[in-house]
Structure 1
């Protein structure tokens, strides 16, 4: 038996705690604001949030773009930070609350009250470990509030939100700003959803209502944003013997780093996203499961990237249950794999002449 991966073991324990304490309740609140609001089928995210306007050229993949030059989503890929999940949740809440082109005048408070039961705490699922004296649950609530406040301060530094009564003072409310980051200290641009004239991606509403936003890692979420963008703006339609045509895409290392600011670790999340059945990852016919190539030579022209497509109805399932099942198998077997009786992919292998096709 392979030795256990400590990171997977820790993540699994964290997820199990999350599911037992709060994930179900948070998902209910997510669904409630959707049902009582505009009921968007998907949530629009402006391209500038996760992608640079111009490609940056990197000489060495081991030396990524400086943090300040990366798009917002890539900057938010940290082991424990809540800012990426919180920002996407805020965009979801705004598009549930008001229609296209309208400003959200009264975003939710940080903490729930009798008058305002919906808050950023009630829409966020995170486990805050507490090692001090006193009552554990009360201390967790205090620490969760601190986590959310700290995430809001980070978003404020990026000009994505603004506290109503002064920098960092979110207890009295906040204003959500445009996610393209064009606001300044002297000129804030209130948030409205992207219209059809702007480049944007659409995240299925089930990403929020079924809990995916809470159980995926920051790297997995940032990679998903990249794949949504590639499928929309760099996808190719391929036919199938049965069913509708399929849109597939790929990304090379220079584009992944120079356009999306994501390193190799974020790219490798395609294995987990495939195991969760959110993406269908299709390997070139000469590539083994290990990533090695049959008959590899440095000058080969057919060293193709993986192709990726969206798995049908992948987000419509309970995220906590799916991810926990996959993590258990990953923790035991040491590899990412789908359940034995999962829906088969429409393509498992492909044969093309070059990655430029």
Structure 2
């Protein structure tokens, strides 16, 4: 690992520990939704469209899935979208179209707004203490930025008040996982998928409740979540590879999932967290370098992976921070 990468991981671990109270508060808010909701699901259904590459909008444009488009961006967009799915499925049965009734921010401390479901990671540049008012403003900015990115990727629609008007972001409507901006917004209001092998249009992957309740939805990066969803999708599609592992060569990975090398590289972290098992090629080093000399004939093999379904059972923040700090330079 390069010294730059080592420093980046150390800073990420330090930020997690420093903001652990904020992460715990957001995790607790999700636990309230689960406890108060009538559904108490063991798993939450995500349409595979979220991670499958969409049709190119224009000639020559690169394939990209909604998740892959959000993966390299800063902010909480992909996290908030998955939290919105968790919120909807905790409250409503399968097949129902869900209208958003949750405000952007809580009003007078009653209930939870979308901003309250994200960790309050607010930094004041001048080093002065952050006031309660400043904290709430920072939380609002985080949520607004996430919603704007979701609207850009056609995963949410912001209707009603014009830009800058009070309450504009209380009018958000979440859309289905396709991110298909060619279809009308009304036909794409988010609905809860039915879990049935006989409905291919509702093809899904399942995330366990522990992904949300143990804080993984907050602690993992958008790139890590996207790569995990790809591997999970491949494993569901190819159950015959349960022991040998699933894989996609680079060109197939880009064409099918829109996942490029920098996002895909997060599989190393996912394996380190214990969420997947990477079945290594003996002719590669752990960081992917080919060990054989160029004079020898050797065709590098793609990494193969299996999902560790109990990986989310551990607390996310301490697991991730401990792994990041344990990496050798």
**Which TM class, normalised by the smaller chain length?**
0.7 to 0.9
- Counterparts in 2 of 1:198-217, with a 5 A limit? 198-217=202-221
CA distance in 2, matches of 1:140, 1:298: 60
For CA contacts below 8 A with separation 6 or more, give which structure has more relative contact order: 2
Instruction: Provide the residue aligned with 2:27 in structure 1.
Output: 27
**Aligned to 2:117, what secondary structure does the other structure show?**
coil
Instruction: Provide the residue aligned with 1:43 in structure 2.
Output: 44
CA distance in 2, matches of 1:167, 1:51: 32
- Counterparts in 2 of 1:275-294, with a 5 A limit? 275-293=272-290
Instruction: Provide the residue aligned with 1:250 in structure 2.
Output: 247
Q: CA deviation at 1:95?
A: 0.8
Q: CA deviation at 1:247?
A: 7.0
Instruction: Provide the residue aligned with 1:191 in structure 2.
Output: 190
Q: CA deviation at 1:222?
A: 1.0
Paired residues of 1:111 and 1:145 also in contact (CA < 8 A): yes
Q: CA deviation at 1:299?
A: 8.8
Would you say 1:157 and 2:156 are equivalent positions? no
Aligned residues: 315
Q: Which moved more, 1:191-200 or 1:312-321?
A: 191-200
Paired residues of 1:76 and 1:84 also in contact (CA < 8 A): yes
CA distance in 2, matches of 1:50, 1:159: 14
Q: CA deviation at 1:49?
A: 1.6
**Aligned to 2:188, what secondary structure does the other structure show?**
coil
Paired residues of 1:278 and 1:311 also in contact (CA < 8 A): yes
Q: Cα–Cα, structure 1 residues 164 and 281, in superposed 2: closer, same or farther, change >3 Å?
A: same
Instruction: Provide the residue aligned with 2:312 in structure 1.
Output: 315
Q: CA deviation at 1:100?
A: 0.5
Structure 2 residues without counterparts, runs of 5 or longer: none
- Counterparts in 2 of 1:109-124, with a 5 A limit? 109-114=103-108, 116-124=110-118
Q: CA deviation at 1:185?
A: 5.7
Q: Cα–Cα, structure 1 residues 298 and 235, in superposed 2: closer, same or farther, change >3 Å?
A: farther
Q: TM-score, normalised by structure 1?
A: 0.79
Higher share in helix = 2
Q: Cα–Cα, structure 1 residues 181 and 79, in superposed 2: closer, same or farther, change >3 Å?
A: closer
Paired residues of 1:235 and 1:248 also in contact (CA < 8 A): no
Structure 1 residues without counterparts, runs of 5 or longer: 56-64, 239-245, 335-357
Instruction: Provide the residue aligned with 1:345 in structure 2.
Output: none
C-alpha root-mean-square deviation of aligned residues, in Å?
A: 2.8
Q: CA deviation at 1:234?
A: 3.2
**Aligned to 1:202, what secondary structure does the other structure show?**
strand
CA distance in 1, matches of 2:231, 2:95: 26
Instruction: Provide the residue aligned with 1:7 in structure 2.
Output: 8
**Aligned to 1:122, what secondary structure does the other structure show?**
helix
Would you say 1:223 and 2:227 are equivalent positions? yes
CA distance in 2, matches of 1:54, 1:312: 31
CA distance in 2, matches of 1:296, 1:216: 36
Q: CA deviation at 1:101?
A: 0.7
- CA distances 1:171-196 after superposition (whole Å, capped 9, x unpaired): 43322222212465664522112223
CA distance in 2, matches of 1:53, 1:297: 38
Paired residues of 1:108 and 1:173 also in contact (CA < 8 A): no
**Aligned to 2:116, what secondary structure does the other structure show?**
coil
- CA distances 1:104-128 after superposition (whole Å, capped 9, x unpaired): 2343211112474122122111412
Q: Which moved more, 1:2-11 or 1:34-43?
A: 2-11
Paired residues of 1:178 and 1:189 also in contact (CA < 8 A): yes
Instruction: Provide the residue aligned with 1:274 in structure 2.
Output: 271
